Chains A and B, each alone.
Chain A
Amino acid sequence: MAYSGPRTLFEKIWEPHTIAQLPGKVALLQVDRHLMHELTGVEAVRVLERRGLPVRNPDLTFATLDHVISTEPGRTAGDEPWSSEMVNAMRGQMGRLGIPLFDIGDGRQGIVHVIGPELGLSLPGTLIVCGDSHTCTHGAFGALAWGIGSSELVHVLGTQTIRQVRPKTMRVRFEGAVPPGVTAKDMILYLIGRLGAAAGTGYAIEYAGPAVEALSMEGRMTLCNLTIELGAKFGLVAPDDTTFAYLRGREYAPQGAAFEAAVAQWRTLYSDAGANFDREVQIDAAAISPQVTWGTSPEHVIALDAAVPDPAGEPDLARRAALQTALDYMDVHAGQRLGELDVDRVFIGSCTNSRIEDLRAAAEVVSGLHVAQGVKAWVVPGSLSVARQAAQEGLDQVFLAAGFEWREPGCSMCVGANGDVVGPGERCVSTSNRNFAGRQGPGARTHLASPAVAAASALAGHIAAPSVRGARGVA
């Protein structure tokens, strides 16, 4: 390797995966893990087969069902003929190609960004791609992981490589510690609010600092998951003892002596002192409080107890008009407190916040209480494994007793591909990742928040902080 100076974590993964440097900034890179799901997978396999190409490395390819599969208890495939057809096509293809499919029947099905980590597929120093923009989630393990499109998916299937422009690097340091009750979701929403939804365009972002080191793996996954909402394809956290403890004994992680050897190598994966980043950002973690979005971009975010911004304060006319459009769509007005907004739906789930720690945080809030009248509240665990763990801890009963629906794992109402949607004009507090106009259904109004805030809002019937416990207007 030609490089001898201090290197970033990003460079330490990028360089050993480089098969060929093409003229310009594009490199041909080895893919270690190709994760697939039915929504983009089925068509990509059809294209590959039409071209007469075999899958180059079925041993490095893994699939699950998450986007269109039903989340209805008792499900076997989709809710509609078209989605069942897609699910069954995926089953047929994966069987034929020798690609492991984590399906309902074998107990390992779940959202691709939840099962990759929990099966030990997402490992430090690896290069991971998937036909889904939230693939940056796996960067929590110190992996270089990003979302790809359909054509790239065919490319990876056929060659086990990907062409990629080398991104610039950014380091975001969260200094100090977050106040009690502030989660990884609040950290990343706060960051997006500060920097804007396009700040990360063209960058690989490494998250560092004491407040990141203090996060569990679940928290780090939430942090990295929303990197794409900051505009960046890649989010990374350097692996440490928290990472290794999480991975030890996972099904696809190296075992025994091989694990110890891998850990020794993984311990070299950090940004060297003096390594150069194209941009550095410092955030005071102590200044972060629970965050909720008010508009139609993740950058439209404020502290739960702050006032909705006034477009009149925006000097740029186009931006002012955009803010007004967002307010109108959301039926929110400038200066309003989010705690005044009644909610119709609450969704706890998605690749952002559907892991066991998220469900524990929500259950702690709802335990012994009941969902407010008129609110339809759902919990959709991220995987069958999460659902089993939750059941062992009695969390499913806590949610059911409180009046939540407890559903089967999948992407569900985050993307609405399977028909799990929020109705037109309905207001939903959601633990997912996108508050785009129409994302959760035509005309749906989405407020992104942490699991604790979503749970508290379900109980209160309006957007609420966990401590409020049903008392209106204090938020």
Chain B
Amino acid sequence: MKPFTICRGPAAPLLRNNVDTDLIIRIERISQLRRGQFATWTFETLRYLGEGPQSGERADFILNQPPFRHACILLAGANFGCGSSREMAVWALEEFGLRCVIAPSFGDIFRSNCLQNGLLPVVLPAQAIAALAAVASDGTPLEVDLRELEVRAPGLAPIRFEFDPVQQTALLEGLDEIDQTLLLMNEIEAFQRTDRQQRKWIYGQHRGSSPSGA
């Protein structure tokens, strides 16, 4: 996973609520494309006039406007990333070039998926996001600092945000969750040894033609 320490750059305001993962990346793309092929299709129904880039861009969509075509921060509305569990939504945002999304709240599954990929989900009150959007609207870069847990914008006092310490360390160091868990394999094995005795029916001893169990 790509480590995250500081991200500095244009922050695109997309302040509508309930942006769902279907809107971020459509089902046809996730079923028929592979990781690395999503950038063209991020937010496609908001971004293009019709089917894909050949149909032309919608000029009024924020990520089509010059300062934000290379945004690394997205300022979003409440419940960003709600809906489908598709991790491809995170991949699509990343492949577009975004490193951080700031929203009043996130879909819970989407937030977990962000942490797996080094896309930083920052929760701030809507008023703070509105203040950031006012500064960022002309392309003025914002700075998100995961070490200090703050967002900085010219003319505003630094805005603090909260983050779980384990998740913060994982993002800062780019730790892979599977590698981290494999280090705990002794604990996992010990747990399962006891569990197999206590809850035999979980482990399938009840199956097949000998339902009475092991």
Contacts and interface: CB of A to CB of B under 8 A. Distances in A.
Interface of A: 19-20, 22-26, 28, 30, 32, 39-40, 43, 51, 53, 59-60, 67-68, 82-83, 86, 123, 126, 131-133, 146-152, 154-155, 158-161, 163, 165, 167, 197-198, 201-202, 228-229, 231-233, 252-258, 262, 297, 299, 318-319, 321-322, 325, 415-417, 434, 436-439, 442
Q: Is the interface of B mostly helix, strand, loop or mixed?
A: helix
Interface in B158-176: 164-167
B157 interface: no
B18 A197 contact: yes
Interface string B62-103: 000000000000000111001111111010000000000000
A158 B45 contact: no
A151 B117 contact: yes
Given A59-B204, A318-B16, A436-B22, A197 B79 contact: yes
Contacts of B26: 438, 442
18 contacts: A28-B188, A59-B204, A149-B113, A151-B87, A158-B182, A160-B188, A198-B78, A198-B79, A201-B107, A232-B108, A233-B108, A252-B207, A254-B206, A256-B212, A319-B17, A321-B16, A325-B16, A438-B23
A202 B108 contact: yes
A424 to B, nearest CB: 10
A267 to B, nearest CB: 15
Max chain A Cβ within 10 angstroms of own Cβ: one of B20, B82, B165: B82
A133 B45 contact: no
A49 to B, nearest CB: 13
Nearest to B207: A252
Contacts of B185: 159
B181 A82 contact: no
Given A19-B187, A417-B27, A25 B178 contact: no
B109 A83 contact: no
Contacts of A322: 16-18
Contacts of B117: 151
Nearest to A153: B87
Nearest to B182: A159
A154 B187 contact: no
User: For the side of the interface on B, what is the size category?
Assistant: 35 or more
B82 A24 contact: no
Interface of B: 15-18, 20, 22-23, 26-28, 30-32, 34, 45, 51, 77-79, 82-88, 90, 105-109, 112-113, 116-117, 164-167, 177-178, 181-182, 184-185, 187-188, 191-192, 195, 200-204, 206-207, 211-213
A253 B32 CA distance: 37
Contact of B211 (A147, A155, A255, A439): A255
A30 B192 contact: yes
Contacts of A154: 178
Contacts of B31: 39, 67-68, 82-83, 86, 417
Given A86-B31, A202-B108, A256-B212, A59 B203 contact: yes
Given A201-B79, A437-B23, 14 more contacts: A24-B164, A82-B32, A149-B116, A150-B87, A151-B116, A152-B177, A197-B18, A198-B78, A198-B82, A201-B107, A233-B108, A255-B212, A257-B212, A438-B22
